[in-house]
Amino acid sequence: MTINEKVFGKDAAGREIFLHTVSNGIMEISVMNYGATLVSVRTLDRNGDTGEITLGLDSLNDYMGDHPFLGSSVGRFANRIARGSFTLDGKTHTLAKNNGPNHLHGGMVGYNKVTWKHEEAETNDSLGLRYTYLSPDGEEGYPGNLAVSILFRLTKTNELIIEYEAETDKPTPVNLTNHAYWNLKGPGKSDIYDHFLTLYADSYLPVDDNLIPTGKIAPVAGTPLDFRMEKAIGRDISAAGGYDHCFVIRGRDSDLKTAAKVFEPDTGRTMTVQATQPGIQFYSGNFLNGLAGRNSGVYKKHGGFCLETEAFPDAVNQPSFPSAILMP
């Protein structure tokens, strides 16, 4: 396995941003320390041709501008927190509101917009990068100094493993995930309608008009959200109004369990997602609107999908949901 480093540019403070590409000869990933971002994943198709399978941008300036979290590591709390506030140990904390009345993906300057420290990480069967960031007490309204570590590893058996660790000095909400957009046929080439998706979930979290969970857990049976058996993403997407839902993964929360599987018949590519989190957000790129992507590609509505493994959205305000509070 090999790793290649190059300078991708400089952030607003003049610090160098490094792009690292890790390859095992069949598959390669590129990650950078701005936003601990997964910039690229390239792998073979059934004909032995290598191709890109994630949506991305050409330059660091593009990533530093506005974009829909392409490949971003998001936190301190991924997904939405209702009304941008929560009460913990009798104290109400007010967060940045950056999604209408709500807080989304860490706020105005979430983890996707900071520069992380980095070091190479190697094991007997993998090679990758570890990114670390100290999120200070009060950042975006969150309590506690939070030391965060995100490890990206590519294995010899074509696994991309992302491991998250965090340590705090005060009780605080933590929900870390990666926001990669996937298109197994190739980004900018087609929509995702003919990708076949299986979700290992019998239930989901209904939401209100602001995409905040109602607190209920509902069965997927008899709804357009039923992916328990393999189904083309496009089959019921109109009936669903597009997908942007958190599904409850089968199995115990702390166990590594299969959450999703995607098959693209033209290329023969298959992706399996495993996670230890209780939920997985399936998002069908509803708000992609002609974004200019890498290599002159254009990312249109439903041109990519996300499978974000996560704690339940708004868990800090929903006592019936599994706790997303990290204790010192």
128 CB-contact burial (10 Å; exposed 0-12 / middle 13-18 / buried 19+) = buried
At residue 252, does pLDDT exceed 90? no
The predicted structure's pLDDT at residue 38: 98
Q: How does pLDDT run across 197-235, given as a tens digit for each residue?
A: 999 999 999 999 999 999 999 999 999 999 999 999 999
Question: Do the bridges between strand 37-44 and strand 177-178 make them parallel or antiparallel, or are there none, so unpaired?
Answer: unpaired
Bridge partners of residue 126, in order along the sequence: 155
Residues in the chain: 328
Beta strands in 45-90 (DSSP E): 50-52, 73-74, 80-81, 85-88
Share of the chain above pLDDT 70, in %: 100
**Active-site residue, from 28, 140, 308, 310:** 308
Whole-model pTM? 0.96
Q: Which two tokens stand for residue 147?
A: 């030391």
Contact 80, 211 (CB under 8 A): yes
At residue 254, does pLDDT exceed 90? no
308 is catalytic: yes
120 is catalytic: no
Tell me the C-alpha distance between 175 and 243, whole Å. 21
Bridge partners of residue 219, in order along the sequence: 203
Q: Which two tokens stand for residue 95?
A: 């967060």
At residue 253, does pLDDT exceed 90? no
Q: How does pLDDT run across 34-93, given as a tens digit for each residue?
A: 999 999 999 999 999 999 999 999 999 999 999 999 999 999 999 999 999 999 999 999
Phi and psi torsions of 41, nearest 5°: -135, 125
Element (H, E) at 72: none
Question: Do the bridges between strand 291-292 and strand 201-204 make them parallel or antiparallel, or are there none, so unpaired?
Answer: unpaired
**Active-site residue, from 179, 195, 245, 302:** 179
At residue 189, does pLDDT exceed 90? no
Quick one: the chain helix, strand, coil %, rounded to 5?
Answer: 5, 45, 50
The predicted structure's pLDDT at residue 194: 98
